[in-house]
Structure 1
Amino acid sequence: MTEPTTAQLKPMPDDWQRALAVVAHPDDLEYGCSAAIAAWTDAGREVAYVLATRGEAGIDTLEPAQCGPLREREQRASAAVVGVSVVEFLDHRDGVIEYGTALRRDIAAAIRRHRPELVITLNHRDTWGGVDWNTPDHVAVGRATLDAAGDAGNRWIFPELTEQGLEPWNGVRWVAVAGSNTPTHAVDATPGMERAVRSLLEHRTYIEALTEEDPESYVRGFLTGYAKSTGERFGGRPAVAFELFGR
């Protein structure tokens, strides 16, 4: 019998100028996405980050009042490594984000403010590859981001945003989901990999609480392993994968 072939990933579109990444927590983008973001900013594209929380419930040994500001600082430093200077926080509570109109409204407002052509978010499905259970925060924010891409362009959904001076933006052309088990597109990770490693390392406090392994060994092994595995479907080049939804 002939072995089944795995579909190759297509290159991500490059005919855009502005992107907005919307995720739940500090470090969500750095676990696999930032090599692509580094390549995009190198090419002169604008990327902004919006985080639903400050990750204040993410470290067991730190009280949220101490943890939130620390993780915010780490996130801003991490973003700067890959050329991102705009980092905003929506101040939903870490760990208990609720999918619903309030979250959709906040994300739609961010999309109207930044007017991106490409929106990036994280896996919104229940599991990672059908093996590991996803967190409620990731599911809620990913799903709300996909919905808010349409909400942002409809003046009759959340009309209060127009009253606040945020005119509808119907210019989102794609939503790219990182961490999907069914990716369709990819970006060559090679040019941005070293900065991706340094970017994730900026989350040192979180990483040191997560693993007893040397932080740089842990980060480099995780990111290069993921990129190499993805590259098997991208012409052998280490890659960052996305599931791309057109609009």
Structure 2
Amino acid sequence: MNILAIGAHPDDIELQCAGTLALYAAQGHKVFMAIATNGNVGSPHLSRDEIGAVRHKEQIASCALIGAELIWMDFDDEWLFNDRPTRTRFIDAIRQADPDVMIIHGRTDYHPDHRVSGQVAEDARIPASVRLVETSLPHINKVPHLFYMDNPVGLEFEPEAYVDISSVIETKRKMLLSHESQDSWIRAVFGEHTSITDMMEKNAASRGSAAGVAYAEGFREVKTFPRTGSFGLLPGIGM
């Protein structure tokens, strides 16, 4: 299968569903990681161009750890909107990946870029398969199945299913640590006691406890027409 995860910022996918992507990759599936914005405001001291370039390199390094293909949409951080240019770019991202499964941000996430990214991805899912919706890439021949990834630190998100990521938690940790600039940024914004890996591990352990395993990631199925799959599309699924 082809698997497409769409995140609003570099490091979003790693925080919320990189373990599941690592499992897909280990099973031989083709994984794509699409990043909507370039993260060009996430630094306490670098310029927008400088931090944008740093974050692009960090995302490339993270993708390389599981052999994922990067789709870099390059919108400005904090200024993502559901408009025609954005939807067109998302349609092309979906057409490039030709996914069987898409994993996207949910509607209860705290960050507007996250919510917009998820909504645009959901809205672009069917148009990507429509021949006369003309973009730079040809239409795809199937409509992918959608899952919402967890929210940061699990707030306002009730999983319907859990993927046991205990066997790949170290890979998830390494992918997240590729985003070194964001660990510094989070510490600058939220205090030195808060690290990006601590945030991830606490939530993964919490979801794991609910699933009866060491570490897990939580998901919700997007129950929308057309129904093209089920939770069985997730690797090693546990309810």
With structure 2 as the length reference, what TM-score do the two structures score? 0.83
Query: Which residue of 79, 82, 86 maps to 1:99?
Result: 82
Structure with higher Rg: it is 1
Task: Output the amino acid matched with 1:144.
Answer: V
Q: Is structure 2 residue 92 aligned with structure 1 residue 120?
A: no
Say whether the 8 Å CA contact 1:79–1:199 is kept in structure 2: yes
Say whether the 8 Å CA contact 2:131–2:138 is kept in structure 1: no
**1:227 paired residue number:** 204
Secondary structure at the counterpart of residue 207 of structure 1: helix
Could you tell me how far 1:117 is from its partner in structure 2? Answer: 0.3
Could you tell me how far 1:150 is from its partner in structure 2? Answer: 1.4
Relative contact order higher in (CA < 8 Å, ≥ 6 apart): 1
With structure 1 as the length reference, what TM-score do the two structures score? 0.80
Secondary structure at the counterpart of residue 33 of structure 1: helix
Tell me the distance in 2 between the aligned counterparts of 1:220 and 1:95. Answer: 23
Matched residue count = 216
Query: Which residue of 174, 177, 186 maps to 2:148?
Result: 177
Query: Which residue of 108, 111, 114 maps to 1:135?
Result: 111
Could you tell me how far 1:106 is from its partner in structure 2? Answer: 1.2
Secondary structure at the counterpart of residue 94 of structure 1: coil
Could you tell me how far 1:187 is from its partner in structure 2? Answer: 1.1
Percent identity at matched positions? 26
Task: Output the amino acid matched with 2:40.
Answer: E
What are the superposed Cα offsets for residues 181-224 of structure 1, whole Å, 9 maximum, x if unpaired? Answer: 03212211111100111111111122112216488xx3443222
- Which 5+ residue runs of structure 1 have no aligned equivalent? 1-16, 128-133
Tell me the distance in 1 between the aligned counterparts of 2:3 and 2:193. Answer: 33
Tell me the distance in 2 between the aligned counterparts of 1:39 and 1:73. Answer: 23
**1:149 paired residue number:** 125
**2:60 paired residue number:** 76
The alpha-carbon distance between structure 1 residues 92 and 240, as it changes in their structure 2 partners (threshold 3 A), is same
Say whether the 8 Å CA contact 2:125–2:143 is kept in structure 1: no
- Which 5+ residue runs of structure 2 have no aligned equivalent? 152-156, 228-239
**RMSD of the TM alignment (CA)?**
1.9
Say whether the 8 Å CA contact 1:82–1:196 is kept in structure 2: no
**2:232 paired residue number:** none
Tell me the distance in 2 between the aligned counterparts of 1:113 and 1:34. Answer: 20
Query: Which residue of 30, 33, 42 maps to 1:58?
Result: 42
Say whether the 8 Å CA contact 1:197–1:219 is kept in structure 2: no
Task: Output the amino acid matched with 2:81.
Answer: E
The alpha-carbon distance between structure 1 residues 220 and 26, as it changes in their structure 2 partners (threshold 3 A), is closer
